[in-house]
Structure 1
């Protein structure tokens, strides 16, 4: 990103259920990148036979969730009736709209075995007109994602669109989420395919920009997408994500996102009172739920 690194965000620890993750967004100096509002880097973690991922039923409004795994498996259930195992390379895309409930757990057949878990959990904001729309769910297998090679560099478009490539994930606003892999040192100039805002996360290896070297556990936010150019110095896997930002500010409380604070307050009440019209139960996983956290100030 020639003369283009506007912000370097260090990955910070956070908890999701009984699992430690590295939180990349939101950050106090950068609340979003394009429509991307929230990014957790899960793992990598080796879970013993007595350790499992267990995130009980919890609600969302006003966003789409994107789950993408590098290793391991998560079983997803939701209040729309979906029950799907997420495996590496596949995309889980759930649009909450006016309200959805889901749970994320280690599949039954792995619960008594040692296993690895590593991946991304991402929230993407919705256009204002769709924030209170009907919830929906799509699962896209890895074979359906566009993948190609140019000059020995491997690309995969996980979601969104860049020029002549488009992923089958049914996104709701202009965005992109791209995986780039190099086997050794390489120069990559991709700015002419990008738009809006862009950020980079280096999963493994390192990149060099303007004479500075950056490695893992850092999120690099560009000043201008069209200037996105960089070098890898070794075998490297990185991700570029971003797109067109929304005009309206998005407010977040816990798992709720909205451009209207009153909508957040109603969602809090609905979940606290277990309003089944707003947040239906999950078939096959309804014996527990994550309680509403103590009130916090809007961020």
Structure 2
């Protein structure tokens, strides 16, 4: 019997001036562990006159994780942070009770041809921390634990795995893990996973119980403890998951909360421009009047 509970394929989504591949939330699987939103950006070749320009917008109740494969993004937020993220680095922004940020092409690249490719991820905060003070953390490539095992290269981007711990300050038991190989290898990883587990294939393919899965597919395990598969040569995959939060989550636009009242208050606060502002920014993305409001299922 297969250990794969669900196969999710990327669905194209327009987020303004950029197309992404939406992985989570999915109608049959809203969350994997505390992970509640995953977008695959690109790969996109941008001409000199084309730039990523996501104007200031708000968040509550979550941490955002940005991880790039190619390209550069300048992050600015209402804490006064200005941080360029480059491939292999991590930007981890915790919204808590409310934060505003923008994401744009860095000024020195705005008139050049460029690539943009990466993952943007939301991790829901535990209920008792949903209203915490916002914060920001940046990790360089060399800060992240990296090791080789049985012909596979591992990088722990966030959370804890085996006896490794990422410096990224997460707020519940989770893992976000990169695996890469050059030669075909069998991976027996289940005994070291915990909670719920998802596997996203970026490049190459994997084989599981006679079936081959390729890029842009997300596999959700029935039992993370039984995760065993074969990575074909030159494959890059990402494992993410952890302990599920005990309460379901509401999602509206950029807001995540265990209580609809927090969502409603955030909507009104953004309409009234009562969120903190990003220094040096004058634009903002208006609250969408029509937007899917994902409510917890009974």
Smaller-chain TM-score bracket: over 0.9
1:280 aligns with 2:279: no
Alpha-carbon displacement from aligned partner over 1:36-81 (angstroms, at most 9, x marks no partner) = 0000000001000110000000000000000000000000000000
Is residue 2:292 matched to residue 1:293? no
Superposition TM-score, scaled by structure 2 size: 0.97
Matching residue of 2:206: 207
TM score, norm. by length of structure 1: 0.97
What SS is found at the alignment partner of 1:267?
helix
For 1:147, the equivalent position in structure 2 comes to 146
Cα distance in 2 between the residues matched to 1:128 and 1:229: 33
Deviation at 1:295, TM superposition (A): 4.0
RMSD (CA atoms)? 0.9
Q: Secondary structure at the match of 1:129?
A: helix
Deviation (angstroms), 1:253: 0.2
Gaps of 5+ in 1: none
How many residues are paired up? 294
State the shift of 1:296 in Å: 3.9
Q: How does 1:99-178 map to 2 (within 5 A)?
A: 99-178=98-177
Q: Equivalent residue for 1:15?
A: 14
CA–CA separation in structure 2 for the residues paired with 1:143 and 1:160: 16
1:75-97 per-residue CA deviation (whole Å, 9 max, x = no partner) reads: 00000000000000000000000
Pairs within 5 Å for 1:145-294: 145-275=144-274, 279-285=275-281, 287-294=282-289
Distance 1:204 1:297 in 2: 31
- Is the CA contact (8 Å cut-off) linking 2:144 and 2:155 kept in structure 1? yes
Q: CA deviation at 1:297?
A: 5.4
CA shift, 1:252, in A, is 0.2
Q: Tell me by how many angstroms 1:163 deviates.
A: 2.2
Q: Displaced runs of 4+ in structure 1, greater than 4 A?
A: none
Partners in 2 of 1:153 and 1:249 — Cα distance?
A: 35
Given that 1:92 and 1:138 are in contact with CA atoms closer than 8 Å, whether structure 2 keeps it comes out as yes
Q: Distance in 1 between matches of 2:72 and 2:16?
A: 16
Give 1:3 deviation, angstroms: 2.4
Aligned-residue offset at 1:15: 1.8
- Where structure 2 has 5 or more consecutive residues not aligned to the other structure, the ranges are none
Q: Separation in 1 of the partners of 2:291 and 2:151?
A: 49
Q: Tell me the SS of whatever aligns to 1:23.
A: strand
**Deviation of the 1:298 alpha carbon:** 2.8
State how far apart, in whole Å, the 2-side matches of 1:233 and 1:118 are.
22
1:26 match: 25
Measure the CA separation in 2 of the matches of 1:233 and 1:194: 21
Distance 1:152 1:267 in 2: 48
